[in-house]
Structure 1
Amino acid sequence: MISTTALGTTGPTVSRLGLGAMGMSGMYGRTDDVESVATIHAALDAGIDLVDTGDFYGSGHNESLIGKALAGRRREDVTLSVKFGGLRGPGGTWAGVDTRPESIRNFLAYSLQRLGVDYIDVYRPARLDPAVPIEDTVGTIGELVEAGYVRHIGLSEVGPETLRRAAAVHPIVDLQIEYSLISRGIETEILPLCRELGIGVTAYGVLSRGLLSDSLRTDQTLAADDFRAHSPRFQGENLRQNLTLVDSLAAVAAQHGVSVAQLAIAWVLAQGDDIVPVVGARTVARLAETLGALDVHLGAGDLAAIAAAVPDTAVAGERYAPAQMAQLDSERAGVGS
């Protein structure tokens, strides 16, 4: 079985790998609900008990899909992490974030219904709402904790000041934020602060949306409805530069007899037991590859070789388009890309 760790000093015990379900609702092109449910089942059967979603993924489709997959399963065997507040329009357009107290209660009611559960394990705003003080957002979720509808509070993509202010209102169990070999900005200030405050990190984007894998080394054509088609790191010369880093990483992976993706996940796992990679496998086959990362053990020499192959200063392009970067409190704090 998969080893476990605690989310921060006040959070639940979860598997060392989490399953991110966003890609099962069309963010990276067409999906198959039957295969998605099978993947969730395979993850649970393998011992992955942390499942991450957002109420705005597929405008509710993702939560409904997870609810279908969890039907008949023991509720206590799954830790559900839910982001809320993202506003979507017809066609998937993005309209910002709403974390007003009355909106939080509304979002939660819909999430509970779609997921088919009576509580959420970790509930978090998807982004910082510039119109609502973080104290009000966390305070409202705290009331829902007291009422039994939420067990723990998490945050997503916030900077140090926001993190401190939030933790002063209510215990924060984890910060969900992008962290990978080529997105290491949190190491400067945010990660040390999380460790000071006893807050865990659930790291998404550990494969940089498939960049740190073998998938784009042979097929670089992205569908128009694929999020990556509009992401700076996947554009033109940026992509060509970044794929040279992937090629270097592939050479190290070959020495270990593992895939690029497995080595990238293992690298994140090696950064500390307080960091839980949340990997977005969409198929049973991809999940099996992901699980193989748990068998990769990296020593100091291995980590040095990986760092030499993929220096984060050589990465081309920001992790989001400019409009999205502007909405990240974590980036406004100046922690890097």
Structure 2
Amino acid sequence: MNSADSEPTETLVEAALRVLNTADPVQKAKLGETIAQQWLQGTISQTYHHSIDFPVPDRPARLSNDKLVSPSLMPKLGKGGSLQSRQAILHSLVHTESWAIDLSWDIIARFGKQESMPRDFFTDFVKVAQDEGRHFTLLAARLEELGSYYGALPAHDGLWDSAMATSKQLLARLAIEHCVHEARGLDVLPTTISRFRNGGDDRSADLLETVVYPEEIMHCAAGVKWFKYLCLRSKSTTMNPSSCIELGNDEAGERESAAREEEKGNIEPTTDNDGSNEIEEVIQTFHATVRTYFRGPLKPPFNEKARKAAGFGPQWYEPLAIKGPSSV
């Protein structure tokens, strides 16, 4: 066996770190797509080295020519009636997607091994990262078609600020990034799409409506799914994990099914024998987490249809909101 044969193959976490350490956003998206395909096709098969820990950067590599300003100093984007406004809106979306790429790979590298997450967790967020990279590439190309480019306008990094605030706890990261920020994106995207259409830009509107919008629902759903999983898994020391999923009639089959579903992360809340509803406990944990890690109330109106499609209803977010309309 030669030395090349004895070298350990790259794990998914190592590959994720390569993305995080790539500064150019275009190259970052391309590398992420390559790694995603390798994972989904099985070329990369190992999640991480059990005996080796690699440092995760506090801040992913970024180009130094970004025009960053405080969120409070960001110029108004406008309502899409002018070319300048449409460029500004697209630029803001491209910037958000550039951070979404990093957030997806960061959650894999930072929390997957630390929290001993099942393999399906890694696969779900590889798919999210792949989508975010595609969104970035398509929106950046559309921005150039409109005569601008990513980096031409100022942007802010508030999204990564919240990522750092949740860098120590996966439960908080899932709640804030996926069930608050991404859910907020679901709330505002229909209005953004309408603004492009009203401004005569059907190509941008179609891109958001047919590609970005439905996939962002699935990203939010991933956050809800794994938030529930963590809440229910935390009870496994005092509660049989098989009580967290729907069981069949055959007892032996139930045990096998429960173990298999727990490994896949498909734990779903049901009702305890004492009559208490586990989903209520999950929601209460969500409320407490958001109040701890998110400053201020959630802002309605809410896109109830999209949020429901992502797996969580008004009982999750309305108690956290300021008074006002509750649907769009």
Give the TM-score normalised by the residue count of structure 2.
0.29
**Which has a greater percent of helix?**
2
Q: Which has the higher contact order (CA 8 A, sep 6+)?
A: 1
**Which has a greater percent of strand?**
1
Larger radius of gyration: 2
